[in-house]
Amino acid sequence: STIISTPTSPTSMLSNSISSSITTTSSSTSALSNTISSITFTTITSSATTTTTVIPKWTITGSMNVARRTHTASELANELVLVTGGHNSGGNLSSTELYNLSTGTWAITGNMNVVRQRHTASTLANGLVLVAGGSSSLFNILNSAELYNPSTGTWTNTGSMNIARRTHTASILENGLVLVTGGSSTLINVLNSAELYNPLTGNWTNTGSMNNGRSYHTAVTLANGLVLVAGGFTGASYLNSTELYNPTLGTWTNTGSMNNGRSFHTASILANGLVLVTGGQTTGNVILNSAELYNPMTGIWTNTGSMNVARYDHTAATLANGYVLVIGGQTTGSVVLNSAELYNPSTGIWTTTTNMSIAREYPTASTLPNGKVLVTGGESSDGVYLNSAELY
């Protein structure tokens, strides 16, 4: 963050009296024709008042040991972030690394038993991390799953899924089970099947199938315990349909359709319970700047403010103040983006914020306990695989 200190007029007080107030404001920057959220600290002493404004910005942090894209990032209980697998110029990866929030450095940890990209990773209630599926090569799609133990830094195989899949989703349910949905089992076979992983037994069981096969979709667990799956690609068309999974019944029901078919988008749960989807790609390979809100109470999607830049293969993180930060991706003309935008749920408006130091698509974003967002890896505008990481 950039710190700006501005002395103001003296204030008459007792010589040793100090008071501090913290307020959240928005400061307009005339050179930028946009709004950047900031935090102002006012310290009153016996002789003067000093106002310090903290403007969010990006800072470089430690680089990963291995460049990677289409990887995963999982937050662990001990304030570490685990990055797994992915792909770089050498092929698909089994390597994994830990980011230490306190030191800003990365340390190599145990390798997975199988190289994989476009897999999922879920942090379980017992602290272990479940990695499932993905692909080990272009034509070899995986049904295997593994568990990472943060205490030992090692991976062990667990039960395999009933169907090999990549570009699927994984959602942790209120009962502790993990729901995996859709994806593709070959380059052209898109799945509507879903499976449940039980951490107590290490086994997978089939559950109800979705009404539509879909890959490159999103899934979020709602406050009511249902799982909302939205959009995706069938192999031939981009879906605007959305479905709800009921863990109690093990069944899917259609809910309201989005106003745009989209895949390669993001979905974020807001503090008010609504779900925000952003960007993605649609029919004709058109890249979207539109955003929509899903209301679980009504089952209806409504358009909200559009992003300033159309983007897909981006990532999103929900901030402590309730805003949603959208980061990077690719836009029209195969341009990879370093730009970032903030969505204000109260106004439905997007504002640009400072740019990352490096343009990147396929990055990951993790909201850390200190409120910062860690962005890792991806692929740059010149096709270079990245090991760099940044903090917002």
pLDDT tens per residue, range 314-346? 999 999 999 999 999 999 999 999 999 999 999
The amino acid that residue 5 corresponds to is S
Closest by alpha carbon to 311, among 275, 272, 354, 262? 262
Distance CA 119, CA 103 (A): 28
Task: At 142, list the tokens.
Answer: 């995986």
Distance CA 255, CA 159 (A): 32
Question: What confidence score (pLDDT) does residue 16 get?
Answer: 37
Task: At 252, list the tokens.
Answer: 């899917």
* C-alpha dihedral (197, 201, 206, 209), degrees to nearest 10: -30
Question: What confidence score (pLDDT) does residue 219 get?
Answer: 99
Distance CA 353, CA 356 (A): 9
Distance CA 159, CA 204 (A): 7
Task: At 212, list the tokens.
Answer: 């539509």
Low-confidence ranges of the chain (pLDDT < 70): 1-55
Could you tell me the pTM of the whole model?
0.87
Residue span(s) of the chain under CATH 2.120.10.80 come to 59-299+382-391
DSSP state of 284: G
Question: What confidence score (pLDDT) does residue 138 get?
Answer: 87
Task: At 149, list the tokens.
Answer: 């133990």
CATH 2.60.40.790 fits 59-299+382-391, yes or no: no
